[in-house]
Amino acid sequence: MRSIKEISIMADFKLTSEESLDTIMGLVKKHDIKYIRLIVVDLEGSPRAMLIPEYEMEYALTYGIGFDGSSIAGFRDVNDSDLIANADPSTFLIPMWETPGIAIMFSYISVPGGELFEGDPRGLLKRTILDLENEGFGLNTGPELEYFYITQENGFYEPFGSGEYFDLPPLDPTEDIKMETMMCLEAAGFQLDKVHHEAAKGQQEINFRYADALKTADNVLLYKLAVKTIAQKHGKLATFMPKPFWGVNGSGCHVHQSLVDLDTGENIFSDPDMPAGLSQRGINYIGGILDHAQGLSMVVAPLVNSYKRLVPHYEAPVYIAWGYGNRSALVRVPQYPEGMDKTARIEYRHPDPSCNPYLAAVAMLKAGMEGMSKKREPIEPTSDNIYHMSEAERDEKSVGMLPEHLGEAVDSFVKDSLVSEALGGYISKNLVEIKTREFDEYNEFTGKSWQESRPAITSWELDRYLVRC
């Protein structure tokens, strides 16, 4: 594998050709686009963007647009701050939720010399997928992002509506907001699977169809932008904060994963002769995920607040185990009707919707691929409710535990060379600094031990995460 510094972003990613330039400029003219929003992704998975007028689009596609990397945490120091946003023509979109006359495009980030910026999460995932394709595989991912609609009255945040799992109006009064969101997503090319009220009051889920890992990560950001923007139009707040309310279910981002053989098009996790149709290679992939679950935690559950979701009983994972159809386990192998074995996949229940989907995909893939290459055998699958197991029973079955808080997750990440090296030294170092500081600031605010402060959602968390996530 080449060093990231040896990769020319224009040459290796084949961003702009004369054909793609003509195509984009034709779309801009046809749809009377006045401005294009160029999106870059920061280390924490948030979209950052600049607007450029349509007459600057040809320049942007040819040379890129410079920006100040020192103003984004973990990117660059002020004395070496210049970075370039290189628009990806394949992502040109005119979203219905945007102001009329605005199109959006995702970008890769380069340094002025033309090489890929090693702190770019989207570029890292693209590079990782290219390497995977060189091995003959493709990665498909399908996330399930949960979120809350919230109202603010008299200075207090409350869930919007009284609905619970699968409730419909009038208990769930969000039909108009969700319907507009669904139509906007479908107009943007999303294929929706199912839409329903989740278990907690005000909690929702709009599931969209799986895709290759890079397309899925882009879709996660688009989905969140659509949900939040349309909620705001209706006078509500939509939040993907993992645990905005104590004592109820938090919001997860369960990630379904499978590998495809690029030569045959076959799902290599599928084997109809195996239990639940999951192949031996799929089981080995689970072995890799379980081996690195603690090291993955800082990446897939990256906030202080994430570890208030990861508590027993609310269908959030706590223990490192797997099973067929078992939602108390960290990894679930979904069960299918007869004849559906080709859809075999694993569901990793650890991530929450605050994670950076690009970094999460890289880390999960590397862990799973190591499991396959080294033929890791996971512990025996369990059909028991793991929340109800005694400590002795868990020890007998070799069931481990996820980190209890962000500080432990940082330590586990640093110790896990495979996961930290998967993200590269630059991203890993800066993420560790950001997350260590975040946990320290929380502890300084509460003045309590984690065990004392955990059973409540603090104002520090609401101020920091509720709108931002």
For residue 3, the model assigns a pLDDT of 38
For residue 113, the model assigns a pLDDT of 86
For residue 342, the model assigns a pLDDT of 60
pTM over the 0.85 mark: yes
CA distance 267 to 341: 10
| Residues of the chain below pLDDT 70 | 1-17, 337-342
For residue 14, the model assigns a pLDDT of 58
Going along the chain from its start, the domains and CATH numbers come out as: 9-117 (3.10.20.70), 128-465 (3.30.590.10)
CA distance 469 to 177: 19
CA distance 145 to 227: 11
For residue 337, the model assigns a pLDDT of 67
Helix (H, G, I), strand (E, B) or coil at 333: strand
Q: What amino acid is encoded at 238 in this protein?
A: A
For residue 2, the model assigns a pLDDT of 35
> Residues 6 or more apart from 105 whose CB is under 8 A from it?
36, 37, 38, 39, 87, 88, 89, 91, 92, 93
Give the closest residue to 88 by CA, choosing from 23, 176, 134: 23
Buried b (16+ CB within 10 A) or exposed e, 217-236: bbbbbbbbbbbbbbbeeeeb
For residue 12, the model assigns a pLDDT of 57
For residue 163, the model assigns a pLDDT of 87
For residue 275, the model assigns a pLDDT of 80
pLDDT in tens, 103-120: 999 999 999 988 899 999
pLDDT in tens, 16-34: 667 788 899 999 999 999 9
**Whether 443 contacts 458, CB under 8 Å:** no
Token pair for 140? 């498909």
For residue 16, the model assigns a pLDDT of 64
> Residues 6 or more apart from 210 whose CB is under 8 A from it?
140, 141, 142, 216, 256, 258
